[in-house]
Structure formats: C-alpha cells, structure tokens
Chains A and B, each alone.
Chain A
C-alpha cells in the first residue's frame, strides 16, 4: 500500500467508496433483496469465494483469471444488482496466498461495482430478478448477454486503470493476442454463469457443482500440464547441456541460441506455438555434433575434405536423433538447415535465399552471434557491437537481412547477456578445447583438397 503513488490511492478510495455507497443504499431501499434471497446469496457468495481463492492461471501471467465470474453472473440473474454486488464484495475475504490487503479490498470493490452495474443492465434490458422458471429460459438470453458484455469489459477497465496508475503497466507490453484470448475466455466463463442460473430452479446449488466440477478438474489438469511443461523445458535444457559438457568452451551455447532465436521470432511476430517450437529447435540444433569425431574438432590447421564432410553431416545427425519427437515440422527443418547460407554455399543441401526454411534462417543468425560473443580456445569473445557488425557484413550473403535486422532491434530493446569470460580450463578437469568452431563466421574452416 505504502509504495502506491497517490493517484492510485485516490482511485482505490473512490472505488471502494462507490461500492460501499451502492451496496448500503440497495440494502436500505426496499425491493432489492428480500428474506428468501439470503440462502441463495450465501451459497453464491461461498462459491464466489472458493473460486476467487483458487484462480485458474490460463495463459496470461499477469492477470489471474478466475472461475468466480460464473458465480458473479449467476448472482446477477438470481439476486439482482445489490445481490451481485454483495457476492462480488466477498472477494475481500479471499484467501489467495500472497495477496496484500489493499489488493483484496480493491478486488472486492471492483467486483461489487461490476456486479451492480451488470445487474442494472440486466434489469434495464427486461430481465426479471428471480429464479428463472422452467420454460422461460430463452427470455433470459438477451438481458444476460447484455449483463455479461458489460461486466467483463468494466472489470478489465477498472483493473487496467489501477495497474497503470500503480505504474506497473507499459501498454506496449500487453500483447493484443493474449488480451483477445483473455476476453474470449471471460465470455466463456460468463456462459457458465448462465448455465448455473438456468438450472437453479431444478436442483438449486447442485447446479453450481455440476457446472463447476468439470472446470475445476480442467484447472487441475491445466496445472498438471504447466508443471509437466516446466519440467520438460528443464529436462531438455539439462540434456542438451550434457551433450555440450565435453567441449569446454561451448557450454551454455544451446540455451543461448535458444533464447536468441526466440527473441528474433518474437520480433518478427510468431505465434506462441511456433515460438515454443523454435525455442526447442535452437536448443537442439547441435545435438548431432556428438557424431563428429573429436579428432576432427581438435585438429589444428586445415581440414581434409573428408574431415569437413564429417562436420557437414552434423545437422543431419541431429535431425536423425530428434526425429521421433512430436515437434512442429518447422523445428526439424530449422535443425536440418541451420548452416545453409543465403548465397547457397552452405551445407548440407546448399539451399539459397527463400528456399531456406524460416526457422533455419533465424537459428543461423543466433548461432553465429553466440559463437562470436563467446570465448573460444583460439580467441577471446568479441564485443556485441563487433559481432553485430559481422552479422551486418554477412547479411545477404550468409544471413537473411530480415532476421539480422530483427535481431538487432530485439537486442536494442532487451539487451543481451553474453556468457562472460571463460577462465582457462582448470588443469585437473578432463575437458576438450576445440581448435575450431564451425559456427564462427569470422574464422571459416579451411579445407584443403587432398589431390
């Protein structure tokens, strides 16, 4: 509370005051709630509280979305404006861990406001406040949709104003896609509110259980999914690092290429599924390197054609290893072709320009950049600026200019954390220090013809 700027405090007080006045007025004035409504109110309030205390985290990280909408909107139908406001106000009592008091008070107030306004809209559109009787269900639809259409945006508005006044929101950072997703799922939850209200006449509170049980189970399954996802990401990173441990200087290369590739992909506006796929492709792009004999990698000086062929094989080897995994096909293409060049002189296929898959063009840039900004046995890491100059120089011949400029833009915005200086390998540790790096565009591998 103390760290809030004063406009936010004023806004908080105003919201709470409005909610209190509206509820108090409604309770005093006759005709809003009568004695028969109290049991329903109690059940819905309890339900709202339970839902509010276990929010479902769906996709949007900043805003905890919660099934409680369904309960609030059911209250709009069953109890009217004041009842809905009261149900919303119980958010104050929510026991979500780590939620400060002032946030809970604000939540309660804003839910109360939303409930009140939605209830008012519902009645204005001709909905009558009562338990909808069997057969009159269709009369309910229009007023209910009106109420939901007001509740959801109003809630979002009140919340957004608070967050921006508290200075925690930069508007550019809220992606439009997730905002839209957010609204759609809120409207979905609104439908569930309608179901609860529609069934209330038949089985009362059991209707809420029947509607919400699948949702809670979905929430549980989604939690399991997220946990598995995190576990999976950690596992794939650890395994890729294990592949790298042998080569002292390239440790951490896979995770950095993964994050640089993701940065480029974000910059050119890829959707979430493709973003995840390119993250994995970047992570796995060099797993095939293990198939290259160590003596080739450690050899000083020029390579024979045969030895160079062994290096050129590593993207195919990598593909062979990961082919059994259910990734997007693009990810496989990215691994397979990450050493192709725009001018067609890359390997393994010698594709040129637009023939090269998009993922591969992205990984190529990220790969070369990380190689240049990391220490190698034969040279120190280059500063970021110098590496970018190299990328620009190779733009159009080796790299796709679109990806290079996207990467430079992303770096400007978010910066880059280079691996830092690697100390010379400790004498006791049994590691390889490779004499050449096939990813380094500034030190191309020299091949001599055997004839």
Chain B
C-alpha cells in the first residue's frame, strides 16, 4: 500500500502549503540577510554550525517521525539570545530564519549525498515553528534585555516570557504535526493531536530546556561554551536514538517472524502482511490511538502463529473456511505463544478473540473484530486486485447471517478497500 500511495503524498494540501510557506520564508530570510548584511557574523556562524550539526544527527522516532533535537535547541538558543558576555545581540527575526535554513540545508547535504533525503514536510515544520518563535520574540528582545538591567539585574521576567513563548511554539508545532499526520495516515485530527502530543512532550521539554540554557549560557560565558551546553541534550538524543532503534527492530522482527507461517506453507504468501496493513487502515479509520494501533499490528501479524502447533497445514490456510473448532484452537494456541513473551498480554488477548463472533455472549475487543474481518477478506480475495472479487467478498461479509462480523468494521473496511483501490489505479 505504501508504495502505491506514495505518489499521492504530493497532492496532500496541508503538506504542500507547509512546504511552500517554508520555502518562501527561506528565500525571504536569505534575501533580507544578503541585502542588509549579517549582524554579529561570528555568533550567526557559531549557531548556524550547531543547527547544521543537529540536522546531521537527526533521528527517526517511532511512527516515521523525523526529529532533530539538537538542531531545534540551537535554533531556539539563537532566537532567545539577548546578549553575549554583556554585549546585546541585535540580530533580527529574518536573520534567525536565514541562519536556521542555511544550517538545515548544510546539515542535510551529507544525508542527501548518501541518498537519504530529509522528509520535506518534517524539515519545513522544523523551520516554520522556529520562525514563528523568532517573529514573536526578536522584536521584544531589546525591551526584555532592558528589564534585566543590561544583564546585571534579575532575569525572572525574561525567563517568564521565554517560557510562555516556547510553550506557544511547541503547541503550534504539535498542531502542525497533527494536521500533517491526520492527512497522511487518514486518521481523525483529535486522535492525531493526542498521538503527536504523546510523542512530542518529552523531547520537546528537553529541547526547550536546552535552548533556554544555550541562550543564558551565552550571557554568562563565551561562545566556546556552546558545544558544552549542548551536552545534556546530546545524552538525551543518544537515549532516544537507542529507543527508536529498538522499536524499529522490534516491529521488523515481528513482521519477519510472522512470515514463518508462510514459509512453512500454513498460509498464503503475504497473508499476514496484507491482513496487518488492512487492519491498521481500518483501525485508523475507526479512531484508534497509536499505542492501540501498535498492538493491533502485532496481533494482526501474528494472528496465524498458532497454526505452527498444528500437525499439518490446513490446505490453503484459509481460516475463514475451517471449521470453528479448529479456528478457535488456532486462536488459543497463538494466544498461548504470545502470552509466553510475558509482555504482550494485550496482544495475546486480541489474538485469542480473533475468531469470536460479533454477536456472541461477550463482545470481542475492537482489535479482534477488525482482525476477524480483515482476515476473512484476505482469505477470500488474497493478493488479487480485481475489483469484482473485492466487491463480492465485501458483499459476502456484509450479508453474513450469523452476526459473525461487526457491521461498523465491515463498512469501514469497505471505505478503506475503496481508497486503496483508487490509490493503486492512480
């Protein structure tokens, strides 16, 4: 699906708007700076270099979210800067934008050279939220510096203003990210905001603290301290990189090992992967949040793992056609395997109830209902892209007399299948 859907990304309007805005900003900032000349050149170069280093060390968080915490903190520090060792900093908001975009481009170059271009929307978002803060804060800078008695008095007013504006910027950043996300993965905006907030909160707090630190440090020390003051954030970045790495490996491993059922001839090739893709799309459509979606994906990938305990593969592996007793025992055996991990209890639960009828005495969990429908659909349609066959399968699931499938899930699946078919056609 992702391959087929990729050409569509260019058509997403919010994403396009964002990239254009960032482009205009970059051009304006660079042109303005070129026209009036670089104020405090040394300072600009130092912070620009740190932005570039941060961009170079960008990382991808779970959910394919590209972040560059060190670069963001450097941009924040440059924006918030009031003075260096007692000499007021006079750079304008547009110069901040110019330094940021130059740094980002420079840092992205090595990635480009090895064929890993930055995600345009992610880099545009980083630039835009940084610019928003710069436009709000830089005009206030001289007045704010005066409240500190030119560096000799208290800094509480400045700290307060910084805190408020940074919070506003982070909120704006989350909002932009959520709009992009909602559009890209087709989920409700409300759900996307919650997901983005959960992902952004820890890193955002670390970036905010470090950015403020950078600005204040330049007040009491000289620029040499810049690198040292990025150190706390470096530790944070290392920790997050490790976390993102293991999350990615985890998903890859489950995806890979789910394929043993195919290699063993228990199910059709590609079955687990197709069911998981379909189930995820339905789950998003029905407003599931990201942690639930991850569980749904694991469960969908491993829903047939119980077949490994069967003596002989069921012909064709089509569990929609097996008798209910065998199907139930496959679900039980699979749940048992997953429960043995000791950590994926909820996934085990989803797998256990994957065969339960919707209108049974206990309503199975939503994730189980989704997997049941997606599994049945894939058993009937397989890897085929024939529209008639898909329509016939959907019709059959809609009309099932025994209340096997959740009608809401089936309707949502019909919409998802329709969308995917359109995407393939384009």
Q: Mark A384-416, 1 if CB is under 8 A from B, else 0.
A: 000000000000000000000000000000000
B197 to chain A, nearest CB (A): 15
Say whether B18 faces chain A, with CB atoms less than 8 Å apart. no
Out of A201, A219, A232, A290, which one reaches B260, CB within 8 Å? Answer: A290
Encoded as 1 (CB less than 8 Å from any A CB) or 0, chain B from 81 to 118 comes to 00001100000000000000000000000000000000
Q: Which of B202, B217, B243 contacts A225 (CB 8 A)?
A: B243
Contact A214 B340, beta carbon cutoff 8 Å: no
Report A63 CB to chain B, min CB distance, Å: 18
- Contact between chains at A199 and B217 (CB < 8 Å): yes
A195, B213: Cβ atoms under 8 Å? Answer: yes
Residue B412 at the chain A interface, CB threshold 8 Å: no
Whether B252 and A324, one on each chain, are in contact in the complex, defined by CB atoms closer than 8 angstroms, is yes
Number of A-B contacts (CB under 8 A): 187
**Interfacial residues of chain A within 202-258, with CB under 8 A of chain B in the complex:** 202-203, 206-207, 209-215, 217-222, 224-225, 228-232, 234-243, 245-246
Query: Does chain A have a CB within 8 A of B254?
Result: yes
A325: chain B residues at CB < 8 Å are 249, 252-253, 256
Does B135 count as interface, using CB distance less than 8 angstroms?
A: no
| A221 close to B243 (CB less than 8 A) | yes
A231–B250 touching, CB < 8 Å: yes
A134 touches B151 (CB 8 A): yes
Chain A 19-58 interface 0/1 with B at a Cβ cutoff of 8 Å (1 = within): 0000000000000000000000000000000000000000
Closest B residue to A327 using CB positions:
B249
With A134-B219, A214-B210, A243-B308 known as contacts, the answer to whether A188 contacts B231 (CB < 8 A) is yes
Contacting A at CB under 8 A, from B243-278, are 243, 245-250, 252-257, 259-260, 263-265
A43 shortest CB reach to chain B, Å: 16
B344 and A287 contact, CB distance less than 8 A: no
Tell me if A's interface is mostly helix, strand, loop or mixed: helix
Count of residues in B whose CB is under 8 Å from the partner chain: 63
Encode contact with A along B302-320: 1 for CB under 8 Å, 0 otherwise.
Answer: 1001001111100000000
Cβ 8 A contact of B343, one of A199, A224, A231, A294 = A231
Judge if A355 is at the interface, Cβ distance under 8 Å: no
Cβ of A219: which chain B residues have Cβ within 8 Å of it?
A: 239
Interface contact A242-B308, CB-CB below 8 Å = yes
B219: chain A residues at CB < 8 Å are 134, 202
Q: Which residues, 113 to 164 on B, are CB-close (under 8 Å) to A?
A: 151, 155, 159
* Residues of A contacting B309 in the complex (Cβ-Cβ under 8 angstroms): 242, 245-246
Chain B nearest CB: distance from A122 CB in Å?
19
CB of A326 within 8 Å of the partner chain: yes
User: B336 to nearest A CB, angstroms?
Assistant: 9
Compute how far the CA of A340 lies from the CA of B254 in the bound complex, rounded to whole angstroms.
Answer: 28
- Chain A's nearest CB lies how many Å from the CB of B294? 11
Q: Does A225 contact B242, Cβ atoms closer than 8 Å?
A: yes
A246 neighbours in B (Cβ, 8 Å)? 308-309, 311
Residues of chain B lying within 8 A (CB to CB) of residue A202: 155, 216, 219-220
Q: How far is the CA of A288 from the CA of B259 in the complex (A)?
A: 10
B195 CB → nearest A CB, Å: 16
- The size bracket of the interface on A is 35 or more
Residues of A within 8 A of B252 (CB): 324-326
A232 near B250: Cβ-Cβ < 8 Å:
yes
Contact check: which of B205, B217, B253, B264 meets A291 at CB < 8 Å?
A: B264
Chain A's closest residue to B213 (CB) is A210
Q: A198 near B221 (CB under 8 angstroms)?
A: yes
Whether B256 and A321, one on each chain, are in contact in the complex, defined by CB atoms closer than 8 angstroms, is yes
CB <8 Å contact, A221 and B246: no
Contact partners of A198 in chain B: CB under 8 A: 217, 220-221, 225
Contact between chains at A231 and B341 (CB < 8 Å): yes
Q: Which of A188, A217, A241, A324 contacts B255 (CB 8 A)?
A: A324
Write the nearest CB–CB distance from A111 to chain B, whole angstroms: 22
Interface CB pairs A-B, < 8 A, 29: A188-B235, A195-B229, A195-B232, A198-B220, A206-B159, A210-B210, A218-B232, A221-B236, A221-B240, A221-B242, A222-B243, A225-B239, A234-B341, A234-B343, A235-B341, A239-B254, A239-B260, A242-B308, A243-B308, A245-B308, A245-B337, A291-B264, A320-B263, A321-B256, A325-B252, A325-B256, A326-B245, A327-B249, A430-B310
Closest 6 CB pairs of A and B: A290-B264, A221-B239, A214-B232, A218-B236, A213-B209, A231-B343
Known pairs A199-B217, A327-B249 / 11 extra A-B pairs, C-beta < 8 Å? A202-B155, A202-B219, A213-B232, A224-B243, A228-B246, A228-B250, A239-B305, A241-B340, A294-B312, A317-B263, A321-B256
